[in-house]
Amino acid sequence: MSSDHEPEDSADATRTAAEKRLFEIRMKMNAGRKKNKELAEEEHMKASLPAGKAKKWSADVDGAAPKREVASVPKDKAYMLDTVVDAELKAKKSHKKEKQKAAFGWEVFNQDSLYNAYKKRLHALPTEKVPGSTSTKEYDELEYGKNDGTTEEGVDRMVAELAHRADVKKKFSRRRQHYDGEDVDYINNRNRVFNKKISRAFDKYTVEIRQNLERGTAL
Amino acid 77 reads K
How many angstroms separate the CA atoms of 118 and 115, rounded? 5
How many angstroms separate the CA atoms of 88 and 49, rounded? 13
pLDDT digits (tens, 9 = 90+) for 131-186: 555 555 566 677 776 767 778 888 888 888 889 888 888 877 666 666 667 778 88
pLDDT digits (tens, 9 = 90+) for 21-30: 888 899 999 9
Q: Quick one: 21 and 94 in the same domain?
A: yes
Total structural domains in the chain?
A: 3
Amino acid 29 reads M
How many angstroms separate the CA atoms of 219 and 213, rounded? 9
pTM comes to 0.29
Segments forming the whole domain that contains residue 110: 103-127+151-171
Evaluate whether residue 134 is within a structural domain.
no
Our CA angle for 206, 208, 213, nearest 5°, is 95
Question: Does residue 127 or residue 8 have the better pLDDT?
Answer: 127
* pLDDT for 126: 63
Q: What is the mean pLDDT of residues 100-124?
A: 70
Q: Quick one: 92 and 14 in the same domain?
A: yes
How many angstroms separate the CA atoms of 45 and 64, rounded? 17
How many angstroms separate the CA atoms of 109 and 117, rounded? 10
Q: Quick one: 121 and 162 in the same domain?
A: yes
Q: How crowded is residue 192: how many other Cβ atoms within 10 Å of its Cβ?
A: 15
pLDDT digits (tens, 9 = 90+) for 63-100: 544 544 545 666 666 666 677 778 888 888 887 777 66
Question: Does residue 96 or residue 204 have the better pLDDT?
Answer: 204
* Count of helix runs (H) and strand runs (E) in the chain: 7, 0
Percentage of residues of the chain with pLDDT beyond 70 = 59
Q: Residue 3 — left, alpha, or beta (φ > 0 → left; ψ -120 to 50 → alpha)?
A: alpha
